[in-house]
Structure formats: structure tokens, C-alpha cells
Amino acid sequence: MNKKAIITSALPYANGEIHLGHVASTYLPADVTTRFLKLNGVEAYYVCASDDFGTPILIQSEKEGKTPAEYVAHWNKRDYEDFSAFNIEFDYFYKTSSPENIAFVQDVFTKLNDAGHIYEKEIIQFYCNNDKKFLPDRYVKGMCPYCKAEDQYSDLCESCGRVPDEITDPKCSLCGQPPTKEKSKHYFFKLKNFGDSLGKWLDENEHLQKDVKKYVQNWIKSGLIDWDITRDISWGVPIPLEDTKGKVFYGWFDNHLAYISTAIKFLNDKGIDGKEFWNSADIYHFIGKDIVYHHFLFLPAMRLGLDSEYKLPDYIPTRGHLTLESKKISKSRNWYIGLKEFLGYYPADYLRYYLVAINPYSQDDLNFDWNDFATRINSELIGNLGNFVNRALGFTKKAFDGEVPEPESFDDKDSETEQKIKDLAADVGSLMEQNHLDRALKKIMEFSSYFNQYFQHKEPWKKGPGTASCVFLSVNAVRSLAIAIFPFIPESAQKIWQQLALDGNVSELEWNEMSVLGISSGHILGEASPLFAKVEESEIEKYKKQLEPSEEK
RNA sequence: AGCGGGGUGGGGAAGUCAGGUCAUCCCGGCGGGCUCAUAACCCGCAAAUCAGUAGUUCAAAUCUACUCCCCGCUACCA
């Protein structure tokens, strides 16, 4: 395992609140992975930033009568607060509009330009004579030429999902006037040049998911198209060339560069050579499947265009989208649950547990279902794990006054049980390393379940022979569980740690410590109390009702 | 249309890459047990010709071909 790592997750676009879908596919898996790496002694840093530029933000800030800078500052702060409440622990959360990123983007552009990967081309753009501005992407609305739906954006029809070549009956989305067509000079990145080297990189990188690779390689085979990297708006990274007034870089040119610029800024501030660290670390970019194109083509192509001055990613864990009660999440139809809202109902660990448990390491969509949530929390988190912790510690309290007894000689069952503890770190660890967080979590639950059986089988409450060994091993298993479960549900892990009356924080331990019998006889436990409260059906029904779509479409 | 992913007991999933030791896990149902534990926990039972058809093989949920369904993506959408 590389002892250095930089972890990023897709940047939250600074124009709305974080919802369950965001955290499920990217932020939570990234956070769990980072915590795991840190326990393994990896110098791992999880960096992220708000994605501040672009047309939708500009339009929305204009509507709200704010400057775009004010507008994104608000969302940057709010997103960070929401993430923190969910125990997504960034080492650094910055923004794409930072001076460091702007300078970095301009530098990258200059280098790509010098290397001959950029060219200028005149294109025809919509222009509004009334508002005196060019109208890229979402500034133009009209009728979808395919399904004839009215009032659709020029870059995407939400009704049929297609991308119109040219929208019918175009109107400026600001004033409603029909725009005219004007020439505008844009810069293009020669993505075409990188087909072969991208293909080679994809072939050689063994960590990338096979299905995603295949998908991207098909795109490459069908021929890449050069990429328009500029826009005629005012809110973005300025182009470092003469005669480019009123133009900025397109958001997808600058935002992923913030992975690098933010990491380097953070590391340099810490007194570490950021660039050197970047190039010697394992690089992880956690993303949702909607931005595969950008992360498997644009991002690596740009780095290749700089002769890999900054290392290409080693891992791009790509996960599917979250559906809600089997329907697509949609803010405009009120079919979504905000992260902040959810955390008002249940502890962060409930959601962390559930979202990891249902989330495979693949592009498959996953579904949030309120009833399923209640069942899994009640039966798995509480009935299995919470119950074992509570009965093991509670019993020790009752029968031995909280003092861990001296074990007797182990019988076969005890030895088998001890072996379970010794195998745990490797069993769970190998799954974690392969990014199978859901399976790793399941493995931990199996471990807990095994101990429920063991405890039952030994019947220590009858105080027969073997009682002391059973209690001794069970208490140690609780300690192992606390360490193993920490990356997933850190607050609860720490609670267990306190009930065990062990020093320090779980986060400071080594991963392999979970396979050691770290509690000796004579150790005095702390107070034992239930870790979790049940999810009540009546509550669930209430939250379900709040989901009723405000307006059917 | 192209590409990708699926169809496994009542519900939800794993297993398919490396064929046999595979039909597993969770929920639900039924019956029993325990009382340390949040009506939690433990044991047992019922229930699947692993979408269909044909093939390869001593052996197929797993490989091949075809068919029928479902879902996703398709580039400037952040």
C-alpha cells in the first residue's frame, strides 16, 4: 500500500443544497476510504472545493440580486456545514474561485497552448440584443425539436432527455426576446490528439473499474471531438490572452484543476512540497456516473497535455445514482431529501450505515427506501451490532462488576472464536482496498452476528464453566468492532470506545489493532448503555408523507 | 438505434470474471428455545426447475448462441 494518498470527491456545484444523492455516490465513499487509509498509517488527505463558476450560477445570482461571488460564498459555507454535520471530514475544503486555482488554471492553459493543444475558432452563438450579451447553454430556452416540449434549455431537454442540436423557437431566458446569431471566437482543446494516449492509459491502469473503462473506450473508438473550453460570460476564470474580454473558461476546464490546486495549496501551507507529494501519492477521484466523461477523458487528457507534470489518477471510483423510493431524485418536483433535513431526523451514523450498505462498487443505481432504511437500521445496526455490544458489556457489568475476567483455557469453540478476531483485519481490509465498502461492512456485520451466536451458545448467564473465557473474548470482540466500524460510523465507534473505557480516540489506532486481543483481564469497563435508538414506523410514515411531490409532471 | 448493466424462493440482494466443495445472506411467514441484551438474541421448518430455448462439458446460476423482458448512458448537462 502506497503510504501517501490524495482523495478528492466531485466538487459540489455552488447553487443548491447537498442532498442524499450527492453524499451516497461520492462524499461518503470517499470519507470512509480516507478514514480507512489513515488507520492504515497512510498519509492521506481528503480535499474538496465548491465549484463556483458557470452559467447556472450566474443566472441564479442575477435573479436573487446578488453578485455571483456573494452567491457562491453562501453555498460554499452551507455545503461545508452540511458535510461536517454528516462527519464528512475534509482535510481541506476550498473553492474553484480561489486565487490559487485561477492562477493554476491560467498556467495550465498557457502550457497547453504553448504545447500546441489549443486553437481558436469562430463559432456562431446566440446573442441577445436586449441584454447585450452572448447566451451560452442555459441562457437560451425554447421548444425541444424532438419531443416538442416547451420551455426547455437549449442544452438539454428535461422532458425527453435528449440534447438538441438546435432548439426550436429560441428565446433569451432573461428577457424572453428572441436572440440573434453572432460570431464569437472560442478556444478549443484538441481532445482528438489524445485518443491513443488515453486508450493506453486506460489499458494500463488496473485500478479503474472494468465496466467504466469499456464504456469510455467505446467513446474513444467512435472518435473524440475537440472541446470548446470557453464561454461568453463574465463569471469564470479569465483567459490569459489579449483580446478575450467578456470570455472566460468553461467550468469543466477549470473545476477539476481545483483538485490539484487545492491539494497543493493545502500541502504547501502545511510545509510539505505539494507538487512532489501529489506525484508520489495514490490519487483517488471519487465521482458519480454522470461525470464519467469528464473524469476519464477531459481530466486525464489535460494532464497528458502537460506531459504528466501532475500525475494522472490511480483510482476513479465511480458509483451510480441514488433513487428515492425507486424514482429519480428531482429538486424541482420536490422529490429529494436534503442532507440537512435528514440529519434533523436521524443521527449521521444511521444514514452512513444505510448508504454504504446499499451502495455497491459499480455504476448500478441504488435506491433509498424509507421502509428498508428502518428495517436495516433496526435489525442490522441495532439488533445485530448494537445488541452484541450492549449485551457483552452489560453482562460484564452485571456479572463481573465491570472487570474483565481472567479467561480459562480455551475450548475448541473459543479457539475458533479467537481466530475470528485474528482474521478480521485482513478479511475486512482486503475488501476495503478493493473499494468494496458495502461488502466490507457486511463482513463486519457477519463478525458481529457470529459473536451473537457464540454468546448465545456459551450461555454465560448460567455461570457455568467457560463463562470467563466467553466474556473475555466477547469484550475483546467489541473492541475489534469499534475499530473496524470506525470508518463507517465514526461517532458510534467512539462511543463504544468510551463504554470500553479505553484511552484516546479510535481514529488514532492502527487498523491491524482490531485483530489483537487488546483488553486484558482486570480491565475495568465504563458505563454500558444502548448505542442506538430504534427507528419507529410512525416516524417513517411521517417523513414519507413529506416527500409527496408538490406537483406531478 | 448504438453501447453498457441486469432478470436468482413472497420482498431485497450475493454468487457469474477463474464451471463442481452453491444454491447463500437479510427481511417476511411458521414452529421452538433463551432471558445477558433496545419484544433484542439463538435454533429449526416451509418456499427457487437461478428469465426462456438450444448447445459445450463427466459437471452450468456460472461458458457459447439465439429469444423475451427491465434499466441506464449517448459528449459541451456542473
Task: Read off the pLDDT band of A107 (50, 70, 90).
Answer: very high
Crossing angle for the helix pair A55-63 and A68-85, to the nearest 10 degrees: 100
Burial of A205 (0-12, 13-18, 19+ CB in 10 A): middle
Using one digit for the tens of pLDDT, what is the confidence trace for A443-488?
999 999 999 999 999 999 999 999 999 999 999 999 999 999 999 9
pLDDT of residue A166: 63
Q: Kindly state the percentage of chain A with pLDDT values over 90.
A: 60
pLDDT at residue A330 is higher than 60:
yes
CA nearest to nucleotide B33 C1': residue: A456
Q: Give the distance, in angstroms, between residue A162 CA and nucleotide B1 C1'.
A: 14
Task: Read off the pLDDT band of A93 (50, 70, 90).
Answer: very high
Lowest mean pLDDT among A5-9, A131-135, A226-230: A131-135
pLDDT of residue A333: 72
B chain positions with any atom within 7 Å of a protein CB: 3-5, 12-14, 26-28, 33-38, 40-43, 71-78
pLDDT of residue A553: 34
Using one digit for the tens of pLDDT, what is the confidence trace for A287-309?
988 888 889 989 999 999 999 89
| Statement: the CB of A490 is under 7 Å from strand B | no
pLDDT at residue A162 is higher than 80:
no
Which residues numbered 301-320 in chain A sit less than 7 A from strand B, measured from CB?
A: none
| Statement: the CB of A140 is under 7 Å from strand B | no
Q: Give the distance, in angstroms, between residue A457 CA and nucleotide B31 C1'.
A: 20
Q: Which position has the higher pLDDT, A142 or A443?
A: A443
| Statement: the CB of A340 is under 7 Å from strand B | no
Q: Give the distance, in angstroms, between residue A87 CA and nucleotide B36 C1'.
A: 33
- C-alpha span between A175 and A135 (Å, rounded): 12
pLDDT of residue A548: 64
Handedness of CA A47, A48, A53, A58 (dihedral sign): negative
Task: Read off the pLDDT band of A552 (50, 70, 90).
Answer: very low
Output the average pLDDT for chain A: 88
Task: Read off the pLDDT band of A56 (50, 70, 90).
Answer: confident
Q: Give the distance, in angstroms, between residue A89 CA and nucleotide B14 C1'.
A: 31
CA nearest to nucleotide B40 C1': residue: A383
Task: Read off the pLDDT band of A192 (50, 70, 90).
Answer: confident
pLDDT of residue A418: 95
pLDDT at residue A331 is higher than 80:
no
- C-alpha span between A452 and A497 (Å, rounded): 19
- C-alpha span between A279 and A207 (Å, rounded): 17
How many CB atoms are closer than 10 A to CB A391?
19
pLDDT at residue A549 is higher than 60:
no
pLDDT of residue A361: 85
> Which nucleotide minimizes the distance between its C1' and the CA of A446?
B25
Residues contacting residue A306 through CB under 8 Å, at least 6 positions apart: A108, A111, A112, A115
pLDDT of residue A223: 77
Report the 3 state secondary structure along A49-88: EEECCCHHHHHHHHHCCCCHHHHHHHHHHHHHHHHHHCCC
- C-alpha span between A237 and A108 (Å, rounded): 12
| Statement: the CB of A367 is under 7 Å from strand B | yes
DSSP-derived letter for residue A93 is E
> Which nucleotide minimizes the distance between its C1' and the CA of A53?
B78
pLDDT of residue A387: 96
pLDDT at residue A148 is higher than 80:
no
pLDDT at residue A505 is higher than 70:
yes
> Which nucleotide minimizes the distance between its C1' and the CA of A191?
B75
| Statement: the CB of A12 is under 7 Å from strand B | yes
| Statement: the CB of A291 is under 7 Å from strand B | yes
pLDDT of residue A109: 95
Q: What is the rounded average pLDDT of the residues A397-409?
A: 95
Take residue A7 and report the three cell numbers written for it: 482523495
- C-alpha span between A535 and A528 (Å, rounded): 21
pLDDT at residue A129 is higher than 80:
no
The single-letter code of the amino acid at A287 is I
Q: Give the distance, in angstroms, between residue A363 CA and nucleotide B18 C1'.
A: 23
| Statement: the CB of A293 is under 7 Å from strand B | yes
pLDDT at residue A532 is higher than 90:
yes
Using one digit for the tens of pLDDT, what is the confidence trace for A349-358?
999 999 999 8
Alpha helices in A294-436 (DSSP H): 299-305, 339-345, 348-357, 370-376, 387-400, 412-433
Which residues numbered 36-95 in chain A sit less than 7 A from strand B, measured from CB?
A: 51, 54-56
Task: Read off the pLDDT band of A139 (50, 70, 90).
Answer: low
- C-alpha span between A447 and A431 (Å, rounded): 14
- C-alpha span between A26 and A88 (Å, rounded): 11
pTM value is: 0.92
